[in-house]
Amino acid sequence: MKIACVLDRGFEDSEYEKPYNAFKEAGHEVTIIGHEAGKEITGSKGRVTTKTEKGIDEVGPDEFDALFIPGGSSPDHLRYNAKVNRFVAALMEAGKPTFAICHGPQLLIAADQYRDRTMTAWYTIQDDLKKMGARVVDEEVRVDRNLVTSRKPDDIPAFIRESLALMKEPAKTR
């Protein structure tokens, strides 16, 4: 599968790096998409640096089979961009597998893709989601149709397991 990873500075290092590596090892193609192409970005812990491969103006949702939204402050830096929000909304509305960890669901709020969903997130984002009317659970991982969500770095193994499992399912069963 071709996975779009929306990313900006301040991402949580392990929430990006571990799923990214697991997706690549499983044979998936992951493209890092940011506000602009070629921008070097560093994680919040300063251990991981990567570069955006495509800018949001260069891609369309039809080019990808899945969406990956790492946590940290990256989602907050991305959500002010209406093009990012439309991209996220289009992938979700098309029923494509979407993986959001920690603060990742901030982008789902900005893209208006939280209604009629059961999900989890970082504790402060759980509160935001509840106030918006989403069904929120405090679990290491939650799968709701095409959406996989997790709370924090400790949940990464379950997040990866369920994300990879969802990508193996035929689209009709989601």
Q: Which residues are identified as catalytic? A: 102
Residue matched to tokens 């599968």: 1
DSSP 100: E
- Rounded to the nearest 10°, the torsion over CA 60, 165, 133, 93 is 30
**Helix, strand, coil percent values for the chain (each to nearest 5):** 40, 25, 35
Q: How many other β-carbons are positioned within 10 Å of the β-carbon of residue 150? A: 31
Structure tokens at 105: 């669901």
